[in-house]
Structure 1
Amino acid sequence: MSARVLVSDDLSPEAVKVLEEAGLEVDVKVGLKPDALEAIIGGYDALAVRSATKVTAKLLERATRLKVIGRAGVGVDNVDLDAATRRGVVVMNTPGGSSVTVAELALAMILGLYRHVPAATASVKAGKWEKKKFQGHELSGKTLGVVGIGNIGSVLVDRAVAMKMRVIAYDPFISPEAAAKLGVTLVELDQLWAEADAISLHVPLTEQTRNLVNAGVLARMKRGALLVNCARGGIVDERALADALASGHLGGAALDVFEKEPPPPDHPLFAVESFVCTPHIGASTEEAQSAVAVAIAEQLAAYLQKGVVKNAVNVPGLPREVMDQLAPYLPLVEKLGSLAAQLAPAGPTEVTVEVAGELAAVPMRPLSARALVGLLRHFLETPLNDVNAPAIAKDRGMAVREVRSAESHDYASVVTVTVRGQGGEAQVAGTVYGKREARIVRVDGFRLEAVPEGHVIVCENDDAPGVFGNLGTALGDAGVNIARISLSRQEDRSRAFAFLNVDSAPGPEVLERLRRLPHVRVVRAIHL
């Protein structure tokens, strides 16, 4: 009996043909209401979706035959991953399917700005002929600065090198040797801001990259430089960018993404002639949309016919009893990787995942892969999952070690993630109480019992009276509410540590105020 596939969102005819030629029974039923979808899902082995179909826990309860879900695209926000994982359903997506498309848009933005294409078009349409006004620049010989050379950034580098540009890049997760093979010179961010004639951003939006390009950075950029962001809204301080363009310090800027989408009609950038924008169309080409549809069809066929798993975003192919053991720890381990990334020294070169206690008897790869997902997500715009994270870490020269220990003196099971880099290391550990309550139990040498969620402020300080009182007062004055507190100190009482869950992200000025408090050594904002 052939496996049955339900296509519930628009896929290209080519994708449907791939499934049919693989000998699968395919039904295309687009636009079904949730009740109608729930009524028929029990008869299918596979479900192919884009973003319209919502794969909820309720739907999955009715999907008694379902083995695999294929999402034609990068995001899987419309799929309940926890519910799918618990039911043993593999969830796949198509990372990298739009890499060329987004990179080409970034290059088009740079070309359009250098040759004043949008402004010149508007001028001619207005009945003018202003040849001298729109004298432009060549790309050849210019220096392109690329922030992040993952899937998209590396494609842009390839195109830019072919157009005879000099390319410099910042990416802490790739070795100089690997970058050199791409034709790139790795530099620090400060050097990139100062040297590049044009800068293109290709990083994810995290607490570390939010407003990465702010007024101070814009001021350090070369006069007349260009800035392009086709990555994520919020990486650029848009008001500061408007000011830099209006003053003439920057030669032009182009955004495909905004902090708020759609942006308001009175957005300050819209009043600047040297600003170009598009409505988040980076992945919107016929080729890309067709490519991801065909790719997911090929992935579904390979899984249903041969059991081959590609681009899975959850943990596939494990016995139910093993999944039951792993499931509570997978979200925790991802949070440990994320926390370590935000505490780690620059240029991580080694990651160690250690499992102690009862959990040491189950396969470790899902845990180490999930830790890498949490870690790498803070540095790469590349879509990450449990399958590709280990390969990406290896490509970027990171050594990954897995360590088991049957003994765990304080907990039934504990997972420790250690990240080593230039000049030091960060080590965090966590456990799960009763299969539900995840806790951070150690940060470097400090023992804790902290909840790994939301906005967090971590503070290391001298173990002196009044420090925490001062922290609380300063946060209260800034309107930042403390939700939970976990305090610790070293046995010799030389240093103390605070892990504060707060209701809102502290701004840079709040963090600076905390750092100036007496006896405070280190303050960091974390998001988990």
Structure 2
Amino acid sequence: MFRVLICDKVSEKCVAKLRAAGFQLDFVYKPSIEDLSKIIGRYDAVIVRSSTRITREVIDRASRLKVIARAGAGLDNIDISYAVSRGIAVLNAPEALSIAVAEHVFALLLTIFRNICLANNSMKRGEWIKHALLGRELFGKTIGIIGLGRIGVEVAKRAKAFGMNVIAYIRRPKKIVEELNISATFSLEELLRNSDIITLHIPLTPQTRHMIGEREIALMKDGVVIINTSRGAVIDGKALLKGLKSGKVLAAGIDVWVNEPPKETWELELVKHPRVIATPHIGSMTREAQDRVGEIIAQKIIDYFKINIDK
């Protein structure tokens, strides 16, 4: 019987599927690297989300580990190259989250463009400030999508439904551009100069860290709106805060942070900024998405052991 350690909360469908397939499951939520290192040697597979880090130190103690499974998309909390060098498979389920994250992008945008938070809070205070809440439409605006993967594609589909103009930044030709009937560019600068709204959908890598900084913000239109539901560090947060203070950036919708929860002084200032809509990394937090990700990652684990181990 294969043993699986679950380090972050997953859906009951994930748990039930693995148990039905004969896996023995143990649950140790959000262990420290030190604590995880002490127990990881007992397991054939480990499931994590974003809270638990699988470092070189942990992998060195994982004497029988075959699979590291990320119940989600991002893999920046896992030392992938070292795991692979040790013959450990790294699995994730990005296909499960695309719709939820894309919908959250528009939740943030509509909250910004229609002053939803201000309207709600004023009503609860017993105020009627209708004429102070003049908003703007998404229709006709140009949205620049940095990263046209699964989530970027879902954002583009919804943007088209709102009657928006879509520009996507891509690094190589993609057939989906023609299928979606959108514009695409190989130049990040072109996207930055021509977008009313910029939304990021890229993984965090050494190449994408601070992809948007002071220089890139300076290239943007005055009054640009920035949305980040990818990873906190793809934007230089201090540069974003500076852009908000100067008025260059009209508003920002941020769901992801360098530290989760935010703890640095500049992060807390960004959270509290009156033109920032801040959410605690909930882009993928829908019942439907969590059920999908649980079932998908469970099936990938089952398939891996069936194909590679049960021979």
TM-score by length of 2: 0.79
Identify the range of structure 1 (297-306 vs 241-250) with the bigger mean alpha-carbon deviation.
Answer: 241-250
For 2:248 and 2:78, the matched residues in 1 are separated by 42
Mapped contact 1:6–1:28 kept (Cα < 8 A): yes
Give the whole-Å Cα distance in 1 for the aligned partners of 2:177 and 2:191: 15
Deviation track 1:439-496 (CA, whole Å, cap 9, x = no partner) reads xxxxxxxxxxxxxxxxxxxxxxxxxxxxxxxxxxxxxxxxxxxxxxxxxxxxxxxxxx
Instruction: Describe the shift of the 1:79–1:72 C-alpha distance in structure 2 as closer, same or farther (beyond 3 A).
Output: farther
Q: In the alignment, what sits opposite 2:193?
A: 194
Q: CA deviation at 1:110?
A: 1.1
Runs of 4+ deviating beyond 6 Å: none
2-structure distance, mates of 1:39, 1:203: 33
8 Å CA contact 2:38, 2:61 repeated in 1: no
Q: CA deviation at 1:157?
A: 0.7
Pairs within 5 Å for 1:80-159 = 82=82, 85-86=85-86, 88-159=87-158
> Does the 8 Å CA contact 2:98/2:154 hold for their aligned counterparts?
yes
Residue matched to 2:62: 60
Give the drift of 1:131: 0.8
Instruction: Provide closer, same or farther for how the CA distance between residues 222 and 264 of structure 1 changes in structure 2, counting only shifts above 3 A.
Output: same
| Map of 2:32 onto structure 1 | none
Residues 1:71 and 1:28: Cα distance change in structure 2 (over 3 Å): same
**2: CA distance between counterparts of 1:83 and 1:195?**
41
- Find the aligned partners of 2:181 and 2:88 in 1 and give their Cα distance: 41
- The equivalent of 1:305 in structure 2 is 306
SS at match of 1:297: helix
Q: Does the 8 A contact of 1:232 with 1:257 survive in 2?
A: yes
Instruction: Write the distance in 1 (CA, Å) between the matches of 2:145 and 2:294.
Output: 29
Deviations 1:423-452 (A, max 9, x none): xxxxxxxxxxxxxxxxxxxxxxxxxxxxxx
- Give the SS at the match of 2:277: strand
CA distance in 1, matches of 2:109, 2:198: 9
> How many angstroms apart in 2 are the aligned matches of 1:306 and 1:14?
22
Distance 1:29 1:282 in 2: 27
Q: Is the 8 A contact 1:101 1:282 kept in 2?
A: yes
CA-to-aligned-CA distance 1:212-254 (integer Å, 9 cap, x gap): 4344443443333311122222333434433433444433212
Does structure 1 conserve the Cα–Cα contact (< 8 Å) formed by 2:19 and 2:25?
no
Per the alignment, residue 278 of structure 2 pairs with 277
Q: Aligned partners of 2:80 and 2:170: how far apart in 1?
A: 32
CA distance in 2 between partners of 1:77 and 1:97 (Å): 19
Alignment partner of 2:234: what SS? Answer: coil
Q: Is the 8 A contact 1:12 1:293 kept in 2?
A: yes
2 CA distance for matches of 1:120 and 1:282? Answer: 23
- Measure how far apart 1:210 and its partner are: 4.1
Determine which of 181, 184, 203 is the counterpart of 1:183: 181
CA distance in structure 2 between the partners assigned to 1:271 and 1:35 by the alignment: 37
Q: Which runs of 5+ in 2 are unaligned?
A: 30-34
Distance 1:122 1:304, change over 3 A: same
Corresponding letter in the other structure for 1:102:
V
Q: Report the secondary structure of 2:167's partner residue.
A: strand
> What is the letter of the counterpart of residue 298 of structure 1?
Q
**Residue in structure 2 matched with residue 337 of structure 1 by the alignment:** none
1:146 is displaced (CA, Å) by: 0.9
Q: What is the CA distance between 1:208 and its match in structure 2?
A: 4.9
Aligned mates of 1:194, 1:113 — CA distance in 2: 21
> 1:124 and 1:270 mapped to 2: Cα distance?
23
User: Counterparts of 2:304 and 2:226 in 1: how far apart (Å)?
Assistant: 42
Task: Report the alpha carbon displacement of residue 84 of structure 1 after superposing the two structures with TM.
Answer: 6.5
Instruction: Pick closer, same or farther for the CA change 1:289–1:209 going to 2, 3 Å.
Output: same
Give the share of equivalent positions with the same residue, in percent. 31
Distance change in 2, residues 1:248/1:20 (3 Å)? closer
Matches within 5 A, 1:199-214: 199-206=198-205, 208-214=207-213
Q: SS of the residue aligned with 2:217? A: helix
CA distance in 2, matches of 1:234, 1:53: 17
Calculate the aligned-residue CA RMSD, in Å: 3.3
How has the CA–CA distance of structure 1 residues 112 and 40 changed in structure 2, closer, same or farther, with 3 Å as cutoff?
same
1:386-407 deviation per Cα after TM superposition (whole angstroms, max 9, x unaligned)? xxxxxxxxxxxxxxxxxxxxxx
Letter in 1 for 2:72: G
Corresponding residue for 2:167?
Answer: 168
CA distance in 2, matches of 1:67, 1:250: 46
Seen in structure 2, the aligned counterparts of structure 1 residues 123 and 243 have a Cα distance that, compared at 3 Å, is farther
Structure 1 or 2: more strand by fraction:
1
Inter-partner Cα distance in structure 2 for 1:69 and 1:208 = 24
Within a 5 Å distance, the mapping from 1:91-490 to structure 2 comes to: 91-175=90-174, 177-187=175-185, 188-206=187-205, 208-261=207-260, 262-264=262-264, 267-270=268-271, 272-307=273-308
Give the whole-Å Cα distance in 2 for the aligned partners of 1:207 and 1:82. Answer: 16
The AA in structure 1 aligned to 2:62 is L
2:48 alignment partner in structure 1: 50
The 1-side partners of 2:2 and 2:203 are apart by 37
Give a deviation string over 1:288-308, Cα, whole Å, max 9, x none: 333222112111222333449
Q: Is the 8 A contact 1:160 1:167 kept in 2?
A: yes
> Per chain length, whose mean CA-contact separation is higher, i.e. which structure has more relative contact order (CA < 8 Å, sep 6+)?
2
Distance 1:132 1:71, change over 3 A: same
> Could you tell me how far 1:54 is from its partner in structure 2?
5.5
Tell me the distance in 2 between the aligned counterparts of 1:211 and 1:36: 35
Distance 1:38 1:204, change over 3 A: closer
> What whole-Å deviation, never above 9, does each CA across 1:124-152 have from its counterpart, x for those lacking one?
23332211111112222221111121222
CA contact (8 A) 1:193 1:220 kept: yes
* Paired letter, 1:25: G
Contact 1:146 1:201 in 2 (8 A): yes
**1:30 is aligned to 2:32:** no
> What's the CA shift for 1:269?
3.3
8 Å contact kept, 2:41–2:62 = no
In structure 2, relative to structure 1, the CA distance for the partners of 1:126 and 1:248 (3 Å cut) is farther
**Residue 8 (structure 1) aligns with:** 6
SS in 1 for 2:45: strand
